[in-house]
Structure formats: C-alpha cells, structure tokens
Amino acid sequence: MTEKLLTEMSYDEMNALIDNYIDHSSQQSSEMPASAFLTLLFENLAKRAKQVFEVEGCVIDGKLVLIQPEIMTADLYVQNNQIVIGDQRIVVRLSALN
C-alpha cells in the first residue's frame, strides 16, 4: 500500500482514513494519539479553504465581542460572539482555564 500525505488525499481517502482510525482506536491501538490525528486533520481541511477571513475581537466585561471584518461579503456576518457563514452559525464561548 502506497502511503500519501494528508495534503495529497482526496475527500473520500480522508474519510476512509478517519474510519480506519476510529476502528483502530476502538481496539485500543495506540499507533497515533487522537490529538495528533485531529491536528493533522484540521491542518489538511484548513488548506482546502478557498477564502480566509480574519476576525478580530476583544473581551468586554467578561464577554467576547467580535468585530465585523472590513471586507464585507454576503456570506459572512459577525456580531458579538457569533459568526454566520452562509447557512451556518458559529457561537464562541469563553471559559476560564483551570
């Protein structure tokens, strides 16, 4: 079997890799820690992004306040602790680290 880098895999190959990882994890295989796998998965998915928006924010009275980016698009809206992209909404909640 020829090994590929995550960045060279198709979407279907990535899904198969995830399925295989889950199968191995359920059998208590410790070939790769879950945190390392998820980091690599995120990096691969991030490289596929066609457009990047930087969102700035600050904490005011213990609440996250995000600022609408200067570049406006119909698909991106930012307000307080929420980001709306197309038909998806992301709500960011802050928590204190122990």
pLDDT tens digits for 28-83?
A: 655 677 778 888 888 888 888 887 788 889 888 888 898 888 877 778 889 889 99
Using the predicted structure, report yes or no on whether residue 96 has a pLDDT greater than 80: no
pLDDT for 82 equals: 92
Q: Say how far apart CA 98 and CA 94 lie, in whole Å.
A: 13
Residue 53 CB partners (closer than 8 Å, separation 6+)? 69, 71, 73, 76
pLDDT for 30 equals: 56
- Mean pLDDT over 10-19 rounds to 81
Using the predicted structure, report yes or no on whether residue 1 has a pLDDT greater than 80: no
